[in-house]
Chains A and B, each alone.
Chain A
Amino acid sequence: MRRKDWLGVLGFIAKLILGLLFISPLLVGLVFSFVPSRLLNNLPDLETVLGNLTLENYKWIMGYIPIFRFLGNSFVVCAVIIVVQVILSSFAAYAFSFFRFRGSKILFQIILIAMMIPAEVTVIANYLTIQSMNLVNTYAGLCAISLLSGTSIFMMRQSYMQIPRELKEASLVDGCSDMRFLFRIAMPLTVPAIASLAIFLFISAYNMYFWPMLVAQNTDKQTIQIGMAMLVGTENVEYGHVLAGAMLSIVIPVAAFIIGQDYLIKGMTSGAVKG
């Protein structure tokens, strides 16, 4: 028994070290974001790093880059996308799992086909649409193409199918209307699924790059990813600033991930694979 305990502890330490090694790019970035850029062009030794720790890079970012504006824009976009997707995918899931109606099969096929067309393929034509609607550089344009996705509908449908049919019949008998059932009974029952979906959508919307890069052309609408990408692309790049910017941009999603990982994992893996 003793020997087994020791092996367990050793295994734990080995896996922990492997984990630290795996996230070492993040750790390196975190430590060196507190080191002045001029020291980063050669690998500084530990003493130089510890002797020169400074908030200079972060101060520069706060002073010269409208980072709070970028973060604010990201939050507006995330909030709109999360609220609209949760509501609309609940609507769709409710319709498909509690009603029988003509054309339901075809409508369901529409989701499957839509999921097969990747966003990268439609991005050009979508940009042209947004441009012709005069929505370039607006929040509406930023959110427009992400207001609903097949994945969310599937995630919600998974949990709507678990609500017993009898519940609906009983509430109908008690005089509860269809919409009242949705808002008062079904949606509260699916709160765990909504939480999974919300975290999933938050991380993916916060991390969007391609679409916001095309649509948000001025600082007043640019999201955090676009703002941080501008730091990477400059000439005479100041790595201290780049790393500090990267760290500021990942704090929130990493925190959201660590707090909500159980929900996220459940949501990600529930609908995707049969088995």
Chain B
Amino acid sequence: MRKKRKQKPLPYLLLLPMVILFGLFTFYPFIRSIYLTFFITDPLGNPSSFVGFSNFERVFTDEGFVKSLVSTIKFAAMVGIGTFSVAIVLALLCMHPRRGSKIYQTMYALPIAVASVPVSALASYILSKYGILNQLLGIDIGWFSTEQTALIACAAVTIWSSVGTSFIFLLVGFRNVPEDLLECSRLDGAGPIRRVLNVVLPLASPQVFFVIFLNIVNSFKAFAIIKLLTQKGPNDSTNILVYAIYSNAFLRGRFETACVYSLVLCALIFLVTRVQLLCEKRMVYYQ
């Protein structure tokens, strides 16, 4: 840039609200969370006595924490794989726009608009002990009150509510695949499965990776479904980290413990995004 030109204050003024808001509600609370982990807090969340790293020691050696971490990872794996599998089938079905395709496309994407609370409300009825699913199957499992099934049931509910978003992203990716490439590979004798595996998926790899990691990260945040359907039970089997943050801070008043859990969640999300970047660098083909 030419140096002579006077610096205008306008761009700084335009960005001032951004700096203030991010500072106040993103960076400050983040640093405060880190700070609080070194203290014991009073019930109002103010630091009262400095304890060094002993909060970390206490949490990391706690069985409940390990169980929570394991549940979180299991939950993420189920949601990640489940959502992706359903969404990719739906997106492949809709890949070629046809007359009337908008109708079923809208149906597949509809869960985007349905919040976790009504989803949980519907699930609490459909999956209740005497609910529709059990009646149809002729069994009486309490899906949310049995230790073996609770996390799976919560994952199924989460999968239903996140398929819509993944479907849309995959659909956009698949529709960007040039029609003539598909035609060429068809003429070269590639069957539908080969065409999907060797042409469509590599060309839509940015969206494919984005969707896989989006669902993993979103599963870490599935607070409402856990809160409304299982409240971390039975026997803490659905106590995923985000719920543990809430229950430690707001049910038990242990803000410093909750902050340790927050940092672990943050580290986990950071790790996943790192892996995502690595995978993208190695395997994604950009057109």
Cross-interface CB contact of A209 among B93, B117, B125, cutoff 8 Å: B117
Which residues of A (222-275) have their CB < 8 Å from a CB of B?
225, 228-229, 231-233, 237, 239, 242-243, 245-247, 249-250, 253-254, 256-258, 261, 264-265, 268-269, 272-275
Q: Does A118 contact B (CB under 8 A)?
A: yes
Establish whether residues B113 and A256, one from each chain, have CB atoms under 8 Å apart when the complex forms.
yes
Which residues of B (96-130) have their CB < 8 Å from a CB of A?
98-101, 103-104, 106-126, 128, 130
> What bracket does the count of chain B residues touching chain A fall in?
35 or more
Establish whether residues A148 and B17, one from each chain, have CB atoms under 8 Å apart when the complex forms.
yes
Establish whether residues A88 and B18, one from each chain, have CB atoms under 8 Å apart when the complex forms.
yes
Q: Does A154 contact B (CB under 8 A)?
A: no
Cross-interface CB contact of B122 among A29, A125, A131, cutoff 8 Å: A29
A144 contacts across to B, CB distance below 8 A: 25
Cross-interface CB contact of B121 among A41, A92, A242, A268, cutoff 8 Å: A242
Closest to A203 in B: B113
Cross-interface CB contact of A101 among B8, B25, B116, B223, cutoff 8 Å: B8
Which residues of B (157-182) have their CB < 8 Å from a CB of A?
160, 163, 165, 168-169, 172-173, 176
Establish whether residues B17 and A124, one from each chain, have CB atoms under 8 Å apart when the complex forms.
no
Q: With the chains together, A250 CA to B161 CA distance in Å?
A: 13
Q: Does A206 contact B (CB under 8 A)?
A: yes
Cross-interface CB contact of A257 among B25, B110, B130, cutoff 8 Å: B110
Establish whether residues B93 and A124, one from each chain, have CB atoms under 8 Å apart when the complex forms.
no
A131 contacts across to B, CB distance below 8 A: 44-45
A125 contacts across to B, CB distance below 8 A: 28-30, 32-33, 36, 259
B119 contacts across to A, CB distance below 8 A: 25
Cross-interface CB contact of B14 among A94, A111, A122, A268, cutoff 8 Å: A94
A28 contacts across to B, CB distance below 8 A: 122, 126, 132
| A223 CB to nearest B CB, Å | 10
Q: With the chains together, A138 CA to B260 CA distance in Å?
A: 29
Q: Does B50 contact A (CB under 8 A)?
A: no
User: Looking at the complex, which of A12-20, A55-63, A188-196 is the stretch in contact with chain B?
Assistant: A12-20
B60 contacts across to A, CB distance below 8 A: none
Given A116-B273, A121-B33, the answer on whether A91 and B17 have CB atoms closer than 8 Å is yes
A245 contacts across to B, CB distance below 8 A: 121
> What bracket does the count of chain A residues touching chain B fall in?
35 or more
Given A128-B45, A274-B206, the answer on whether A232 and B228 have CB atoms closer than 8 Å is yes
Establish whether residues A209 and B223, one from each chain, have CB atoms under 8 Å apart when the complex forms.
yes
| B247 CB to nearest A CB, Å | 12
Q: With the chains together, A265 CA to B250 CA distance in Å?
A: 36
User: Which DSSP category, helix, strand, loop or mixed, fits chain A's interface?
Assistant: helix
Closest to A233 in B: B228
Cross-interface CB contact of B10 among A32, A124, A178, cutoff 8 Å: A178
| B163 CB to nearest A CB, Å | 8
| A98 CB to nearest B CB, Å | 8
Given A26-B122, A210-B224, A231-B121, the answer on whether A122 and B29 have CB atoms closer than 8 Å is yes
Q: Does B221 contact A (CB under 8 A)?
A: yes
Q: With the chains together, A272 CA to B173 CA distance in Å?
A: 12
Max chain B C-beta neighbours (<10 A), residue from A29, A94, A100, A275: A275
Tell me the A residues contacting B by CB distance below 8 Å: 8, 11-12, 15-16, 18-20, 22-23, 25-26, 28-29, 32, 40-43, 88, 91-92, 94-95, 99-104, 107, 110-111, 113-114, 116-118, 120-129, 131, 144-145, 147-148, 153, 178-179, 203, 206-207, 209-210, 213-214, 225, 228-229, 231-233, 237, 239, 242-243, 245-247, 249-250, 253-254, 256-258, 261, 264-265, 268-269, 272-275
Additional A-B contact list (14), CB under 8 Å, known A118-B266, A246-B118: A16-B104, A22-B108, A28-B132, A40-B125, A101-B12, A116-B269, A117-B30, A120-B245, A120-B262, A127-B45, A128-B44, A268-B168, A273-B210, A275-B173
A-B pairs with the 10 shortest C-beta distances?
A125-B29, A19-B107, A207-B115, A275-B206, A257-B113, A43-B135, A246-B118, A122-B29, A246-B121, A19-B104
